[in-house]
Amino acid sequence: MFNIAIMGHGTVGSGVVEVLTKNHAGIAAKAANEINIKYILDIRDFPDLPYSDKFIKDFDIILNDPDVQVVVEVMGGLNPAYDFVKKCLLAGKSVVTSNKELVAAKGGELLEIAKENNLNFLFEASVGGGIPIIRPMSQCLAANEIIEILGILNGTTNFILTKMIDEGMSFDDALVLAKQLGYAEADPSADVEGKDACRKICILASLAFGRHVYPSQVATEGITKITSVDVAYAAAWGGVIKLIGKAVKLEDGKLDCCVAPMLVKNDNQLSSVTDVFNAIVVRGDATGDVMFYGKGAGKLPTASAVVADVIDCVKHVSARKYLFWDEGYTDYVIDSDQGEAAMYVRCKTADSAEAATVIRDTFGNVEFLFCKEAPAHEITFITPKGKISEINKKLKSLGALLEVIKTMRICE
């Protein structure tokens, strides 16, 4: 029998108990050991559960119990999760977490402590919910050099964008619906402003390229400014708008990494990822594009990823998994306008015909977009691919004739 403790009994925590209970026999066979939940840590009371006797409120009970070799952290948030996880690792306990905020901010440090103590610190559930991505990236793609990662990493924003695209809803109405369906929280800012996607691309980029990328280093833009008109222009171009997390390794070893709404062509696999689904494309030098797709959130998908990590810990209690990255450094991620992209540019202008001539003279081969939803006195186009700072400089040079309302990257 193998004792574990679970810290947190919210959505994911209760899901972990459910999965461990429901698939008990199959899990014991796969772990080659029976897994027993010895403690559940939560500040709240849960008097009416069949396992109410397992609840404790004092973290030190877990910390000081040598019987507990694996601790599951599903509290979320940085504090006290960071303090608790660090203490567990220092006390010789392996840790499994679904906490993307923790891993994105402190993953490098915690992996280092785990390595020094020959323990596992696993976090499959922190990205993509139930989609296997951390382990395939670290193991299956071990023989590849990863060139780029592109992903739809947040289900809430993807749901909202899908409703805007498929049903012509406004952002506000789609957000209200997402809240009604339980896909968006009362305070949806972490989702709609891209912070959640930012944490996930940080974790993926850190793992893929071997060095910690901190959320503060990644230019992050949400979807709150996307309107039905942008959606219509994108359709006219033959694509859709998706919130994309992107990380590309550059020749000098630095990264181009950002989160932003981008235009995705309809023949790109990512364009058909709708509703609350997530998808992550990993571009390897040998494999080419490999995509992982599924529900990126939800109680049972996330819990099943946590439990898979627990099984791995139990099976390999004395053998560390290869999962590691070095600390980051200040200018490891380039400024976002130093990256390259073709850009969607939407402008106001009093004279469309003259504006079109000036745009062509400035950018060369552009593609103008027309749609019936376009407001009067607007001109919208796609620039050729170039350094974003150069494109911005050219846009400024257009002078009084054109007022830029919005720009977005084209996703390749």
Question: Catalytic amino acids?
Answer: 200
Q: Position 336: which residue type?
A: S
Q: Does 256 bind a second copy (CB under 8 A)?
A: no
The residue among 279 and 341 lying less far from a second copy, judged by its C-beta, is 279
Judged by CB under 8 A, does residue 73 bind a second copy?
no
Contacts within 8 Å (CB) and 24+ apart, 300-303: 300/15, 300/18, 300/19, 300/130, 301/129, 301/130, 301/131, 302/11, 302/12, 302/15, 302/98, 302/125, 302/129, 302/130, 303/12, 303/15, 303/16, 303/18, 303/19, 303/125
> Distance (Å, rounded) from C-alpha 110 to C-alpha 71?
14
Among 42, 101, 124, 256, contact with a second copy (rule: CB under 8 A):
124
Does residue 375 have a cis peptide bond before it, meaning omega lies within 30 degrees of 0? no
Residue span binding a second copy (CB under 8 A) among the ranges 186-194, 291-299, 360-368, 379-387:
291-299
Q: Does residue number 290 form part of the binding site for a second copy (CB under 8 A)?
A: yes
User: Would you count residue 288 as binding a second copy (CB under 8 A)?
Assistant: yes
Q: Does 269 bind a second copy (CB under 8 A)?
A: yes
CA distance 77 to 199: 12
Distance CA 44, CA 56 (A): 9
The residue type at 81: A
C-alpha span between 56 and 383 (Å, rounded):
59
Contact track, a second copy, 8-47, x by CB under 8 A: -----------xx--x--xx--xxx---------------
Neighbouring C-alpha atoms within 13 Å toward the C-beta of 357: 4
Q: Which is nearer to a second copy, 28 or 176 (CB)?
A: 28
Of 71 and 310, which CB lies nearer to a second copy in the complex structure? 310
In three-state secondary structure terms, 41 is strand
Q: Are 137 and 148 in contact (CB under 8 A)?
A: no
Comparison of 311 and 398: residue with beta carbon closer to a second copy: 311
Read off the tokens for 278: 């997530």
Q: Closest distance between a second copy and the C-beta of residue 192, in Å?
A: 24
Q: How far is the CB of 210 from a second copy (least distance, A)?
A: 9
Is residue 205 at the binding interface for a second copy, with CB under 8 A as the rule?
no
Shortest distance (Å) from residue 223 CB to a second copy:
22
Binding of residue 136 to a second copy (CB under 8 A): yes
If one asks whether residue 76 binds a second copy (CB under 8 A), the answer comes out as no
Please report, as ranges, the residues that interact with a second copy according to CB under 8 A. 19-20, 23, 26-27, 30-32, 124, 129-132, 135-136, 139-145, 269, 272-273, 284-295, 298, 300-301, 303-308, 310-312, 315-316, 319, 322
